């Protein structure tokens, strides 16, 4: 047995879905407006997870143009059947509900390439797939009830999938509206068949403090489904906001090689008050079966800090789990950008990138010149060594990003030709309004390399600038409690990255990211 620490995927890896093929487990999570989209992880022991690719990894697969922060890709489900990996997901445009919808992709190799999306034409979110042992395939998902008894009452629907035409067919069945009357968002549904009985697992209560996991069962896939009298079967909502893990929900079940059962699920770890800057993370929980029902975290009834897993060989948690410190090079799968693939925005160059400056800013739902990674540690230093011959009005810097409306950036400001000093500005954009937190002026050529650092210690985000051969200068300290989704809304944890913009002006300037280091502080 090996002890694995929860969360197994720290940082913003929400809505996990899992399946097993032979000796390997595969897992995907949501990515919203960040691309590449839907990371794919592989493990042999449920303890050591390696990212092997993305489902959405090439231009043209999906159209993200104009999709605002916390829109985009919601709640994928990953399944395997007859040598093919199947994935269903939802593309959400919160400003235009006629755009996007539920879609299906397939691949013979989970690392890719994945097919282009097949649109399913059914409303709602959080679609899932179930392959029955009679050969029939079922799609199910969540949507708002047309004539609700209470605000945000939702229902789980089911329809058959014709795998020849990739179209939904036959009558629709409404399976479930949640275990608790008045609870919102019966979502994240998944169907399973265990010992001849059909089980419907669903979350409810909304993906925050009231999140919970419930289960129902039936003799037929179309129902009727009867809820467990012990519902919800796992939640932390009764523990209050002061507990170490909150918002437990959105689970998916998997059986291991030896007949044991497990659930992956999302939850959050507050710190510095009720704030969870790392976002919704992926946790692992053991599951047993009693009286024909699943029991989550038996003997504890809550998500444990550590889980014993049966391993085959040595467990070696790696890069995706935050067990790596140092330079993040261009080929690293942790790199993401906004609405365009990193390769569309930048060119690898040594340990870093050549980043052509773009007119788009971080305040717009466009594709700015931005490259970033998830914040996975409460205490971490991110150091970026940058250089560019900036024109007046241009910026090159680092950013702590929540959304277009909420982020903190430290940048080198372009200066008039012939300037003999460099001006660095720290700005906090809060609810769409920019406030200057601090400024610093350092001697030197604007085109010389400079190192900008975000130093996070709990909820303090210090912004520092360091010229070659000089001591770092603290320009400002931002309050992280104003940046998480509790304070700002939305569904995301924080990203740390580099950006460049000409603030709407035409430009031919290319910035150079010589090094980008992610350095957790133990």
Question: So which residues are the catalytic ones?
Answer: 15, 187
Q: Could you please report the per-residue DSSP string of 172-197?
A: EEEEES-SSTT----EEEEEEEETTE
90 strand-pairing partners: 74, 102
Q: In the chain, what is the straight-line distance between the N-terminal and C-terminal CA atoms, in Å? A: 26
Distance CA 375, CA 372 (A): 9
Task: Give, as one character, the DSSP assignment of residue 67.
Answer: P
Phi/psi of residue 252, nearest 5 degrees: -140, 140
Residue (of 53, 1, 4) closest to 31 by Cα position:
53
Element (H or E) spanning 498, and its range?
strand 495-501
Helix (H, G, I), strand (E, B) or coil at 103: strand
Q: Which two tokens stand for residue 38?
A: 């839907």
Distance CA 154, CA 140 (A): 13
**Placement of tokens 């809304």 in the chain:** 489
Pairing of strands 50-56, 352-356: unpaired
Find how far residue 255's CA is from the centre of its chain: 24
Find how far residue 477's CA is from the centre of its chain: 26
Exposed/middle/buried for residue 323 (C-beta within 10 Å: 0-12, 13-18, 19+)? middle
CA dihedral 39, 40, 44, 45 (to 10 degrees): 30
Distance CA 455, CA 38 (A): 28
Instruction: Look at the chain and count its residues.
Output: 522
Distance CA 190, CA 192 (A): 7
Residue (of 349, 385, 345) closest to 369 by Cα position:
345
Contact of 280 with 12, CB cutoff 8 Å: yes
From residue 64, alpha-carbon distances to 13, 189, 194, 353, 372 in Å are: 19, 25, 39, 23, 17
**Buried b / exposed e across 428-466, counting CB within 10 Å, b at 16+?**
bbbeeeeeebbebebeeebeebbbbbbbbeebebbbbbb
91 strand-pairing partners: 73, 101
Distance CA 518, CA 121 (A): 42
């Amino acid at each position: 047995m090996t002890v694995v620490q929860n969360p197994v995927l720290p940082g913003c890896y929400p809505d996990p879905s899992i399946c097993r093929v032979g000796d390997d487990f595969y897992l995907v999570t949501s990515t919203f407006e960040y691309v590449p989209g839907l990371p794919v992880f592989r493990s042999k022991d449920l303890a050591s997870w390696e990212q092997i690719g993305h489902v959405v990894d090439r231009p043209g697969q999906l159209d993200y143009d104009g999709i605002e922060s916390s829109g985009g890709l919601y709640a994928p489900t990953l399944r395997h059947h007859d040598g093919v990996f199947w994935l269903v997901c939802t593309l959400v445009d919160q400003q235009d509900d006629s755009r996007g919808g539920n879609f299906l992709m397939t691949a013979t190799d989970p690392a890719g390439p994945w097919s282009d999306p097949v649109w399913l034409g059914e409303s709602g979110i959080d679609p899932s797939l179930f392959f029955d042992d009679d050969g029939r395939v079922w799609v199910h998902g969540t949507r708002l009830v047309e004539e609700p008894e209470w605000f945000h009452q939702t229902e789980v629907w089911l329809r058959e999938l014709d795998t020849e035409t990739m179209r939904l067919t036959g009558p629709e069945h409404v399976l479930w509206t949640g275990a608790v009357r008045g609870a919102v968002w019966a979502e994240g549904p998944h169907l399973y068949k265990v010992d001849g009985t059909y089980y419907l697992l669903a979350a409810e209560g909304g993906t925050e403090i009231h999140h919970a996991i419930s289960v129902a069962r039936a003799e037929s896939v179309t129902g009727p489904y009867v809820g467990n009298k012990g519902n919800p079967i796992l939640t932390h909502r009764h523990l209050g906001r002061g507990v170490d893990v909150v918002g437990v929900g959105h689970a998916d079940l998997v059986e291991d090689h030896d007949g044991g059962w497990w659930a992956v699920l999302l939850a959050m770890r507050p710190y510095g008050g009720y704030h969870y800057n790392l976002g919704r993370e992926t946790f692992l929980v053991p599951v047993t079966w009693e009286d024909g029902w699943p029991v989550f975290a038996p003997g504890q009834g809550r998500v444990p800090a550590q889980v014993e897993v049966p391993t085959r060989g040595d467990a070696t948690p790696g890069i995706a789990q935050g067990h790596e410190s140092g330079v993040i090079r261009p080929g690293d799968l942790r790199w993401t950008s906004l609405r365009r693939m990193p390769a569309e925005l930048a060119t690898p160059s040594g340990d870093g990138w050549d980043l052509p400056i773009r007119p788009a800013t971080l305040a717009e739902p466009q594709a700015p010149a931005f490259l970033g990674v998830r914040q996975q540690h409460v205490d971490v230093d991110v150091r970026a060594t940058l250089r560019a011959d900036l024109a007046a009005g241009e910026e090159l810097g680092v950013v702590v990003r929540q959304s277009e409306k909420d982020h903190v950036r430290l940048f080198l400001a372009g200066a008039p030709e012939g300037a003999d000093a460099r001006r660095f500005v720290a700005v906090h954009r809060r609810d769409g309004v920019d406030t200057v937190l601090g400024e610093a002026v350092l001697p030197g050529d604007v085109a010389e390399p400079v190192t900008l650092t975000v130093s996070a210690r709990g909820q303090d985000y210090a912004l520092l600038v360091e010229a070659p051969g000089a001591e770092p200068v603290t320009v400002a300290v931002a309050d992280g409690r104003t940046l998480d989704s509790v304070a700002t809304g939305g569904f995301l944890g924080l990203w740390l990255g580099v950006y460049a913009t000409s603030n709407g002006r035409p430009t031919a300037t290319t910035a150079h990211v010589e090094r980008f280091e992610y350095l957790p502080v133990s």
